[in-house]
Amino acid sequence: MKVLILCTGNSCRSQMAHGFLQSFDHSLIVCSAGTKASGKLNLKAVEVMKEAGTDISHHTSDSVDKYLNDEWDYVITVCGGANESCPAFTGKVKHRLHIGFDDPSDAIGTPEFIQSEYIRVRDEIKKGFYEFYLKEIKGNG
């Protein structure tokens, strides 16, 4: 089973989703990419994922172009921007899904508030992708 998770920058939400989905089932082939990949991971995302027990520090931020010729069981977008760019995958994807999340890197305020936004979004991503995993991959939905 091959799953590609798409976002715009591939530095935060798609990376968290990638880390969680891989942690649920190590037999899955999970990749993440961005329509405008930043080339680096969001350090706050790495930090809050580590606090949740999932290390994504070894991930790379890759352009979606790297995966255009591959076949995917699922392509999942996690932000509005990438959702508009997905049709390029139509011929090589069995299932397209959109599971959207706020971008915690847009949070403005105190360091405590910003930290709380990363944690909130991280927890929403974990819940959303665990539900996807149970329903779509394990067939328990």
The pTM of the whole model exceeds 0.95: no
> Distance between CA atoms of 76 and 97, rounded to whole angstroms?
5
Question: Is 30 in contact with 57 (CB distance < 8 Å)?
Answer: no
User: Which of 91, 70, 90, 63 has the alpha carbon at shortest distance from 6?
Assistant: 63
Please state the rounded mean pLDDT for residues 46-68.
95
Could you say which of 79, 82, 121, 137 is catalytic?
79
Question: Is 30 in contact with 5 (CB distance < 8 Å)?
Answer: yes
Residue 120 has pLDDT above 90, yes or no: yes
Please state the rounded mean pLDDT for residues 27-33.
96
Count of helices and strands (H, E) across the chain: 4, 4
Residue 110 has pLDDT above 50, yes or no: yes
Give catalytic status of residue 79 as yes or no: yes
> Distance between CA atoms of 20 and 52, rounded to whole angstroms?
10
Give catalytic status of residue 12 as yes or no: no
Residue 89 has pLDDT above 70, yes or no: no
Q: Average pLDDT, whole number, for the chain?
A: 90
Could you say which of 6, 7, 12, 56 is catalytic?
7
Please give the C-alpha separations between residue 71 and each of 2, 47, 90, 108, 134, in angstroms, as whole numbers. 8, 32, 10, 39, 22
Burial class (CB in 10 A: 0-12, 13-18, 19+), 4: buried
Q: What CATH number was assigned to the domain covering residues 2-137?
A: 3.40.50.2300
Q: Provide the pLDDT confidence category of residue 8 given band limits of 50, 70 and 90.
A: confident
